[in-house]
Amino acid sequence: YQVKEIATKPYDGQKPGTSGLRKRVKVFQQEHYTENFVQAIFNSIKSEGATLVIGGDGRYFSPEAVHIILRIGSANGVAKFIIGKDGILSTPAASNIIRKYKADGGILLTASHNAGGPNNDFGIKYNVSNGGPAPESVTDKIYEATTTIKNYKVIEADPIDLSEIAETTYGPTKVSVIDSVTDYLVLMKEIFDFALIKEFLLNNSESFKVLFDGLHGVTGPYARAILVEALQLPESSIQNCVPLPDFGGGHPDPNLTYAHSLVKAVEEKNIKFGAASDGDGDRNMIYGKGAFVTPSDSVAIIADWAHVIPYFKKKGGVKGLARSMPTSKAIDLVAQKKGLEYFEVPTGWKFFGNLMDAGRLSICGEESFGTGSDHIREKDGIWAVVAWLNIIAAANKESPNELIGIKELLKKHYSVYGRSFFSRYDYEEVPSDGAQKIVDLLNNAINTSSLASTTHQSPSTKQHFTIASVSNFSYTDPIDGSVSKNQGQIVQFDDGSRVIFRLSGTGSAGATVRMYVERYVGPEADEKELDRDAAEGLKGLIEVALEITNLKKNLDREEPTVIT
Ligand code: VG1
Ligand code: CO
């Protein structure tokens, strides 16, 4: 096979963000744009003789991208590609395939929860041999390579039929097209107590209805295999479970705003247990009738109940717990009570990988609807859903005289640990100079301590909040010592409340400012206080946060784009 060298020039801005390179499809469609980035990946890894996995959420432009990777990868000496049927593997399924078949890495074609279709987003992300997102040392190398690229290599062979499960070849490279779901289903059955869940669901089929919403993302076939086929729930327990290249025109993000189809059905049909996942299947939302679980609470509750999940028993118990910095501290309290080690890492799943590989971390989560464990090296939406079902089934077995659902578990948790009220305000696609003003203002407060010890009163609730300190989060990886600076600015109040400001690293246009707000109320508070709506519990603190940063004026926005 003849290897052709094609001349090219660098494109600006091919720097991978929090989770890979994400841009408009139109940007990826520019001449040589995708090819440049793919060649930059091969320039940064050992591609000669490598086995690599290709998967993704099946969004628009995926089949084209798969073939670009085949052409360039083959020319760069890749020995074997393992590809999900139709180019589809959920992000957690891809992580599992990389680990299970001992591949050297994988290329994931996804922009996660960002909208898809010809006028929306596409993304490419590189994962390393542990199955997790490439660490910054690798993504920096890839970026570096994109800035100096002069040519890329290709082999032109007959295209592969991605719809057929088969062992074939592309030029000199072996290609294995595999079923997207099989291996993942095997993994889930090893982790959870399917018999217990099945029995509980069967015995309570009237009083405990389940609804999963795939939002037309990649998880549909996975949810069907697990919920309908393995757990024998009725067909009506899944909706929007046919993956579509444009996600049906929707925004495949499982939160109260974008997963409205789930929220509506749960409320109308009195569904005890609802859940949704995002475009690439790594996020989840747990939502039952009148009971929304914040992701920060979700991971804390899973950690608290981990002993009922067979996987952790088999592994000799939970090793350690972790969360990303802006995630509420609910999980810290569980770790303290159980005497476990716990960690606070920067935003992005790549920061959990080293701790897991070192055997020091079992369960972790992010406030952005990401929950997972060391069964793979990505967050895992379906895993979280089945974990909740497993926990609920076990809780009901322990207390057979009442029906325990999401609401009851939350209440129980708050009565032991107290509650961390948490909310995130997103200001999407704001002008960069406005976002910069907020960053500068806080940096100035850090450098001059101008905000320290100042007290601020909320106009509406009259609560007082005194600032203890303002700082910039910097992380030193305990395993490899690598340092990640400027990971978000933290305004710490003396009552333990926190407000955090961060710029998003996953957007494809403009700047997105995120404001995270957390206020803790101890278990001794009366039930009414613990049971309050999060928006109410946080009202005063949010007013103070907006005032300190003069946010509305600086961003020229009266309201955030999304509140989660
Ligand atoms: C966001 C979230 C972060 C998450 C990342 C990838 O990043 O805040 O917690 O890890 O998305 O999620 P940012 O930089 O925009 O805040 V996803 O489901 O790609 O895969
Ligand atoms: Co995602």
Q: Is the CB of 508 under 6 A from ligand 1?
A: no
Share of the chain above pLDDT 70, in %: 100
Distance 238 CA to ligand 1 centre (A): 25
Which of 89-98, 167-176, 497-506 is predicted with the least confidence, judged by mean pLDDT? 497-506
pLDDT tens-digit series, residues 22-73? 999 999 999 999 999 999 999 999 999 999 999 999 999 999 999 999 999 9
Q: Tell me, what's the pLDDT at 340?
A: 97
Rounded to an integer, what distance in angstroms lies between the CA atom of residue 42 and that of residue 261? Answer: 41
Q: Is the CB of 278 under 6 A from ligand 1?
A: yes
Give the largest CA-CA distance in the chain: 75
Q: Is the CB of 277 under 6 A from ligand 1?
A: no
Give the CA distances from residue 311 to residues 110, 303, 369, 447, 564, in Å, rounded to whole numbers and listed in that order: 29, 13, 22, 47, 31
Q: Tell me, what's the pLDDT at 270?
A: 93
Distance 257 CA to ligand 2 centre (A): 16
Rounded to an integer, what distance in angstroms lies between the CA atom of residue 343 and that of residue 340? Answer: 10
Distance 302 CA to ligand 1 centre (A): 21
Give the CA distances from residue 428 to residues 20, 333, 491, 559, in Å, rounded to whole numbers and listed in that order: 19, 32, 21, 11
Taking CA atoms only, the protein residue closest to ligand 1 atom 4 is 348
Q: Is the CB of 282 under 6 A from ligand 1?
A: yes
Q: Tell me, what's the pLDDT at 529?
A: 82
Distance 276 CA to ligand 1 centre (A): 17
Which is the closest atom of ligand 1 to the Cα of 505? Answer: 14
Ligand 1 binding pocket mutation candidate from 15, 19, 95 (most atoms within 8 A of CB): 19
Rounded to an integer, what distance in angstroms lies between the CA atom of residue 105 and that of residue 51? Answer: 7
- Give the start-end residues of each E strand in 473-554: 475-476, 483-484, 489-493, 498-503, 511-521
Q: Is the CB of 193 under 6 A from ligand 1?
A: no
Beta carbons within 10 angstroms of residue 563's beta carbon: 16
Which is the closest atom of ligand 1 to the Cα of 512? Answer: 15
Q: Looking at residue 491, what DSSP letter applies?
A: E
Degrees (nearest 5) of the Cα angle 212, 217, 220? 45
Q: Is the CB of 366 under 6 A from ligand 1?
A: yes
Ligand 1 binding pocket mutation candidate from 352, 506, 561, 562 (most atoms within 8 A of CB): 506
User: Higher confidence at residue 461 or residue 94?
Assistant: 94
Q: Is the CB of 173 under 6 A from ligand 1?
A: no
Q: What is the mean pLDDT of residues 215-222?
A: 96
Q: Is the CB of 370 under 6 A from ligand 1?
A: yes
**Residue 453, pLDDT above cutoff 90:** no
Q: Looking at residue 482, what DSSP letter applies?
A: -
Q: Tell me, what's the pLDDT at 510?
A: 76
Confidence of residue 451 (pLDDT cuts 50, 70, 90): confident
pLDDT tens-digit series, residues 63-87? 999 999 999 999 999 999 999 999 9
Rounded to an integer, what distance in angstroms lies between the CA atom of residue 48 and that of residue 77? Answer: 4
Q: What is the mean pLDDT of residues 438-458?
A: 89
Confidence of residue 526 (pLDDT cuts 50, 70, 90): confident
**Residue 90, pLDDT above cutoff 90:** yes
Mean confidence (pLDDT) of the chain:
94
Q: Tell me, what's the pLDDT at 540?
A: 92
Question: In 149-181, which residue ranges form alpha helices assigned H by DSSP?
Answer: none
Which is the closest atom of ligand 1 to the Cα of 349? Answer: 10
Which is the closest atom of ligand 1 to the Cα of 20? Answer: 19
Taking CA atoms only, the protein residue closest to ligand 1 atom 17 is 112
Which is the closest atom of ligand 1 to the Cα of 278? Answer: 18
Share of the chain above pLDDT 90, in %: 87
Degrees (nearest 5) of the Cα angle 412, 414, 415? 65
Degrees (nearest 5) of the Cα angle 7, 11, 12? 160
Distance 18 CA to ligand 1 centre (A): 6
**Residue 1, pLDDT above cutoff 90:** no
Q: Is the CB of 505 under 6 A from ligand 1?
A: yes
CB proximity list for 294: less than 8 A, separation 6 or greater = 328, 367, 422, 534
**Residue 217, pLDDT above cutoff 90:** yes
Active-site annotation holder among 19, 112, 362, 497: 112
Q: Tell me, what's the pLDDT at 19?
A: 83
Q: Which residues pair with 283 in a beta bridge?
A: 370
Rounded to an integer, what distance in angstroms lies between the CA atom of residue 326 and that of residue 517? Answer: 8
Which of 90-94, 302-306, 393-397, 425-429 is predicted with the least confidence, judged by mean pLDDT? 425-429
Q: Tell me, what's the pLDDT at 527?
A: 84
Distance 505 CA to ligand 1 centre (A): 7
Distance 19 CA to ligand 1 centre (A): 7
Is there a catalytic annotation at residue 112?
A: yes
Distance 370 CA to ligand 1 centre (A): 8
Q: Looking at residue 390, what DSSP letter applies?
A: H
Rounded to an integer, what distance in angstroms lies between the CA atom of residue 148 and that of residue 358? Answer: 35
Confidence of residue 286 (pLDDT cuts 50, 70, 90): very high
Q: Is the CB of 127 under 6 A from ligand 1?
A: no
Q: Is the CB of 349 under 6 A from ligand 1?
A: yes
Q: Provide the ipTM.
A: 0.97
Confidence of residue 127 (pLDDT cuts 50, 70, 90): very high
**Residue 432, pLDDT above cutoff 90:** no
**Residue 379 dihedral angles phi and psi, to the nearest 5°:** -70, 160
